[in-house]
C-alpha cells in the first residue's frame, strides 16, 4: 500500500427532510450569507422556497447570486468575488450540484486573495485563507460536497482546470434524497456514471495488495449499478435515492482510494471534452472510460479480471474474453441509461483530438495505471470515436 493521510472534515447531514436544517446549520457560522445557486431548477422544484424559509426561520439574512451554469464559468465567479467583498460576506451556502459547489469554492478562495482567482487553477498560487461554505446537495454526481477540489472553466480559451486545497472542504453538506426527485433523466444518468467513474479512478490502480480498498470499491460499484436503474424507473423511489446519494458521497470523499496510487486520467481527458463541447461531465465519462479501459487493461490485467468477475459477474476463464465482456457490459449499462458510448453518437469528430490530447497532458504525463502521453490520449480519443 501507499502511504497516506486521511482527513475529511465535512459534517454530513443525511436523510429525508434534512434540508429543513439548512438555516440552523448556517446560523452556527454567520447571520448574513451569500446564497449561491444555478439556473431555474431550484425555483421550479420548490427547493428554493424550502431553503429560504429555513434560513428565515433561523434568522439568517441572505443576498443571492444565481445563474451558475453546468461546467461553471470564471466570469460569474469574478462577479461573486466582487459581490462578497462589497457586501462583506463571509459565508456562502451553495444549493445545487458540482457546478454550484465548485463555483462557491472558487468565490470563497478568491475573496481574500489579492491576485486573480484563476491563479489557483493554473497552479501559480495556493489559497491561504477562504470564506466558509455550506452545501445543500441537489444532485448526486460530482461528489464536490465532500471533496477538497473545485473545477472551473475559463471562457478565454475554454480551459477547464481544477485545484485542491483543504480550504475547499465545506463546513457541512446536507444530503436530502427528497431533493433528487425533480432531476431530469439525463442528469440522473450522467450523475450515475460520474459516481461510478470516481470509484473506478481509485480502483484501477497499479498498487497491488490493498484488499480493503478493492472490496470497498467493488461494493460501492455494485450498489450504484443496482440502484441507478431504480431511480431512473421511478424518480420518487426515495429508498433507492438514499442509496445513490450516499454512494455518490462515499465515492468521492477520499476514503475509497486510500493506500492506492489513484489514476484520474479519464477525468483529465474528459475535462477537455466538456470544456470544448459543453457536455455533461458524466456523459463525457461514459464515452471516455470504456475507451481508456480498452487501451490500458493489459498493463495490469488481474485488476480487470477482478472487476469483470466481482462487479459485472463475468465468469469466463479466458482473461482476454473476460475483459472484453466486462467492457461490453459496461457500455451496455451506460447505453441502457440512455447515454452515448461513442463520440460520433454525440456529433463529435476528430478535428480537435490532437489539441485536446496536448491540453490534457499540459502538466506532464497523466494517470497512474498507465502514465499517458499526448499520443496515448489521442489514441484513446480514436478508440472512443
Ligand atoms: O442549473 P440548474 O437549473 O440548477 O440545473 C442543474 C443543471 O442543469 C440540474 N439540477 C441539479 N439539481 C437538480 C437539477 N435539476 C432538477 N432538480 C434538481 N434537484 O442538473 C444540471 C447539472 O448540474 P451540475 O451541478 O452541473 O451537475 P454535477 O453535480 O454533475 O456537476 C458537474 C460539475 O462538477 C465537476 C464537473 O467537471 C462539472 O463541472 N466536478 C467536480 C468535482 C469536484 N469538485 O470534486 C469532481 C468531479 O469529477 C467533476 O469533475
Ligand atoms: Zn467526476
213 lines ligand 1 (CB under 6 A): no
Mean model confidence pLDDT for the chain:
98
pLDDT in tens, 219-252: 999 999 999 999 999 999 999 999 999 999 999 9
Domain spanning 11-179, CATH class: alpha beta
Grade residue 94 by pLDDT with cuts at 50, 70 and 90.
Answer: very high
- Percent of the chain at pLDDT > 90 equals 99
Contact by Cβ (8 Å): 361, 377: yes
Helix (H) or strand (E) holding 128: none
41 lines ligand 1 (CB under 6 A): yes
Residue 253: predicted pLDDT: 98
Nearest to 292 by CA among 196, 195, 380, 202: 380
Residue 315 CA to ligand 1 centre (angstroms): 36
Alpha carbon distance 176, 364 (integer Å): 40
* CB-proximal residues (5 Å) to ion ligand 2: 194
Q: What is the pLDDT of residues 246-272, one digit of tens each?
A: 999 999 999 999 999 999 999 999 999
Nearest to 135 by CA among 66, 55, 35: 35
3-state helix, strand, coil in the chain (%, to 5): 55, 10, 35
By alpha-carbon position, which residue is closest to atom 47 of ligand 1?
Answer: 142
Spacing, Cα 183 to ligand 1 middle (Å): 11
pLDDT band at 33 (very low <50, low <70, confident <90, very high): very high
pLDDT, position 371: 98
Q: Look at residue 189 in the predicted model and tell me its pLDDT.
A: 98
Q: What is the pLDDT of residue 250?
A: 98
Give yes or no for residue 290 CB within 6 A of ligand 1.
no
In this structure, what DSSP letter does residue 108 have? H
Instruction: Lay out the sheet containing 172-175: strands in order across.
Output: 11-14, 172-175, 132-137, 91-96, 32-37, 61-65
The preferred substitution site among 74, 106, 142 for testing ligand 1, maximizing ligand atoms within 8 Å of CB, is 142
Q: Which atom of ligand 1 is nearest to the CA of 97?
A: 25
pLDDT bin (cut points 50, 70, 90) of residue 95 is: very high
What pLDDT, in 10s, does the model give residues 358-372?
999 999 999 999 999
Mean pLDDT of 206-214: 97
SS3 of 32-64: the string is EEEEEECCCHHHHHCHHHHHHHHHHHCCCEEEE
* Spatial contact of 134 and 173, defined as CB atoms under 8 Å apart: yes
User: 218, 267 in Cβ contact below 8 A?
Assistant: no
Burial class of residue 200 (count of CB atoms within 10 Å of its CB; 0-12, 13-18, 19+): buried
Domain boundaries, the chain: 11-179, 185-384
109-166: pLDDT as tens digits? 999 999 999 999 999 999 999 999 999 999 999 999 999 999 999 999 889 999 999 9
Q: How confident is the model at residue 20 (pLDDT cuts 50, 70, 90)?
A: very high
> Is the Cβ atom of 149 under 6 angstroms away from ligand 1?
yes
List the residue whose alpha carbon is closest to atom 38 of ligand 1.
71
Query: Which of 48, 97, 252 to probe ligand 1 with, by most ligand atoms within 8 A of CB?
Result: 97
Distances (CA, A) of 92 to 22, 67, 107, 200: 12, 15, 9, 31
**Atom 43 (ligand 1): residue with closest C-alpha?**
144
Ligand 1: nearest atom to the Cα of 191: 30
Structural contact between residues 205 and 257, judged by C-beta atoms closer than 8 angstroms: yes
What DSSP state is assigned to residue 10?
P
CATH architecture observed for domain 185-384 = Up-down Bundle (1.20)
Share of the chain above pLDDT 70, in %: 100
Residue 128 Cα to ligand 2 midpoint, Å, equals 26
Residues 101 and 95: their CA atoms lie apart, in Å, by 7
Tell whether ligand 1 has an atom less than 6 A from the beta carbon of residue 179: yes
Is the whole model's pTM more than 0.95, yes or no? yes
Amino acid at each position: 500500500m501507499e502511504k497516506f493521510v486521511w482527513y475529511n472534515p465535512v459534517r454530513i447531514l443525511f436523510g429525508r427532510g434534512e434540508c429543513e436544517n439548512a438555516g440552523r446549520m448556517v446560523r452556527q457560522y454567520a447571520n448574513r450569507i451569500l446564497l449561491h445557486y444555478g439556473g431555474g431548477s431550484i425555483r421550479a422544484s420548490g427547493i428554493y422556497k424550502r431553503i429560504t424559509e429555513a434560513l428565515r426561520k433561523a434568522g439568517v439574512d441572505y443576498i443571492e447570486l444565481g445563474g451558475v451554469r453546468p461546467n461553471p464559468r470564471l466570469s460569474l465567479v469574478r462577479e461573486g468575488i466582487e459581490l462578497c467583498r462589497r457586501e462583506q460576506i463571509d459565508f456562502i451556502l451553495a444549493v445545487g450540484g458540482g457546478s454550484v459547489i465548485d463555483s462557491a469554492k472558487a468565490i470563497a478562495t478568491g475573496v481574500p486573495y489579492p491576485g486573480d482567482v484563476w491563479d489557483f487553477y493554473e497552479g501559480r498560487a495556493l489559497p491561504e485563507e477562504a470564506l466558509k461554505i455550506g452545501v445543500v446537495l441537489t444532485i448526486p454526481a460530482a461528489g464536490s460536497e465532500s471533496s477538497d477540489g473545485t473545477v472551473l472553466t475559463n471562457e478565454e480559451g475554454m480551459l477547464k482546470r481544477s485545484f485542491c486545497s483543504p480550504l475547499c472542504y465545506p463546513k457541512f453538506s446536507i444530503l436530502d434524497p427528497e431533493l433528487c426527485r425533480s432531476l431530469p433523466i439525463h442528469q440522473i444518468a450522467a450523475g450515475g456514471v460520474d459516481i461510478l467513474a470516481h470509484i473506478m479512478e481509485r480502483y484501477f490502480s497499479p498498487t497491488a495488495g490493498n484488499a480493503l480498498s478493492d472490496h470497498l470499491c467493488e461494493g460501492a460499484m455494485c450498489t450504484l449499478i443496482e440502484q441507478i436503474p431504480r431511480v431512473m424507473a421511478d424518480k420518487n423511489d426515495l429508498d433507492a435515492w438514499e442509496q445513490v446519494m450516499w454512494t455518490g458521497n462515499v465515492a468521492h470523499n477520499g476514503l475509497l482510494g486510500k493506500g492506492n496510487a489513484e489514476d484520474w486520467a479519464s477525468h483529465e481527458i474528459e475535462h477537455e471534452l466538456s470544456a470544448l463541447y459543453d457536455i455533461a461531465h458524466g456523459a463525457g465519462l461514459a464515452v471516455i472510460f470504456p475507451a481508456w479501459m480498452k487501451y490500458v487493461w493489459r498493463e495490469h490485467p488481474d485488476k480487470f479480471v477482478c472487476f469483470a468477475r466481482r462487479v459485472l459477474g463475468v465468469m469466463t476463464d479466458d482473461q482476454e474474453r473476460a475483459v472484453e465482456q466486462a467492457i461490453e457490459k459496461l457500455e451496455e449499462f451506460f447505453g441502457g441509461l440512455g447515454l452515448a458510448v461513442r463520440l460520433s453518437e454525440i456529433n463529435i469528430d476528430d478535428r480537435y483530438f490532437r489539441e485536446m490530447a496536448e491540453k490534457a497532458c499540459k502538466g506532464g504525463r497523466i494517470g497512474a495505471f498507465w502514465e499517458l502521453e499526448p499520443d496515448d490520449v489521442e489514441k484513446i480519443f480514436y478508440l472512443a470515436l
